[in-house]
Structure 1
Amino acid sequence: MKNIKTDFEDRFWTTGKGFGLQLMEHFFQFNELDVSKERLSNMMKYAVKRNSWIHEDPAVIFQFHQSMRLLVRAGHLVMQKERKWTVDTRPEKIAPSVLGLLSEKEYRNPLLVFRKAFWEYDIKEFDYFMSGIVYFSMGAYENLPESNIVMPYIHTVKMLDAAHLILQRKKEKEKAENNSGQEG
């Protein structure tokens, strides 16, 4: 009997243009931006704290872990396949409260967030980061994560903001197109 091994990773994530945006929309259907950022922050806090663990339902943490993996892959797809429509070319000054962790340049072009993140780390390294903070936040351990988890954390929070911004602009663009189509 042959032992056939199927590798779904590569084939599943190589779908055409627009699929990354669908994955992002799927993420935000089940996860609100503020709640996701807070949950990620709490997980990070407990991951680096000795002898303490997060007091949240493990099923919720696992679901969030899987959702974040989906978002990272969606960002990778969007970075590869999408190009221009997400750029904000308006010259006005942006309020710091709107930016979050994003720089003004990243706010105008959220794809830069994904380019920077995937230039420094690959998908497997983001998976390792997410698995690590889940592992270390779910139990009381003497040891701390052995690798730098601060930079992947910052990139992940920025990816959340950038993905939300991309979807917001997509909705605005579709709304503007629908309104101009109805007027003409």
Structure 2
Amino acid sequence: MKKKKMSFETRFWAAYEIKDPFEVFEAFFDYDHLDDFKQRLGELMMYSRRHEIYDQKYPGRVFIMYAALRSFVRACYILQLKSGKRIVTEAVAPESVLYQASLSVEEYKNPFLAFINAFAVQTLSDYEFFLCEIAHLSQSPHIEACDTDLMTPYIHLIKMLDAAQLLRERD
């Protein structure tokens, strides 16, 4: 039986289909900076609990961010499955806590651990649902009841963003 490869669905935001998860990271961080993604993700979280609509002048930006983050999460998922086959450039413990951002010391030394830990807590479909939910809630003028935990996937997504940036810098 043939193995079915997962599509990263990058054509919505990168304008072409990417097959390699590391290339997804490259295109993702070329599309926008890490700080901008983290800031907008935090803003989406805040607006999901407000009566205001996030980015009313250009609401399509939320869809593009959703699509880019969905591709990013899929790339992280594939990499955590293959993490045993990858060798990471060994890093010493950071001089300052600021260098490791949201990562623990172990995750800073081996960024694949951030992906493994994230998918040990939540499934890929949980992260995709989280992205869809915050995109939906941030575009709604009403505060809607959300019966799912939004903080856990948010925290792990921030860690995955930091880990991906580290992998990009080291390799």
TM-score by length of 1: 0.78
Q: Which has the larger radius of gyration?
A: 1
Question: Which segment drifts farther, 73-82 or 104-113?
Answer: 73-82
Q: 1:87, 1:110 within 8 Å by CA — same for their partners in 2?
A: no
Alignment of 1:25-104 (within 5 A): 25-49=26-50, 51-56=51-56, 57-82=58-83, 83-90=85-92, 92-104=93-105
Kindly state the Cα deviation for residue 27 of structure 1 after the two structures are TM-superposed. 1.1
| Secondary structure in 1 matching 2:68 | helix
Q: Which amino acid aligns with 2:145?
A: L
Q: Equivalent pairs: percent with the same residue? A: 27
The count of residues paired between Structure 1 and Structure 2 equals 156
Structure 1: any 5+ residue segments left out of the alignment?
A: 1-9, 171-184
Q: Which amino acid aligns with 1:58?
A: P
Q: 1:48, 1:145 within 8 Å by CA — same for their partners in 2?
A: no
Kindly state the Cα deviation for residue 11 of structure 1 after the two structures are TM-superposed. 3.0
Q: 1:48, 1:144 within 8 Å by CA — same for their partners in 2?
A: no
Kindly state the Cα deviation for residue 107 of structure 1 after the two structures are TM-superposed. 0.7
RMSD over equivalenced CA pairs, Å: 1.9
TM-score by length of 2: 0.83
Q: 2:90, 2:110 within 8 Å by CA — same for their partners in 1?
A: yes
Question: Which segment drifts farther, 36-45 or 139-148?
Answer: 139-148
Alignment of 1:128-167 (within 5 A): 128-167=129-168
Kindly state the Cα deviation for residue 93 of structure 1 after the two structures are TM-superposed. 4.4
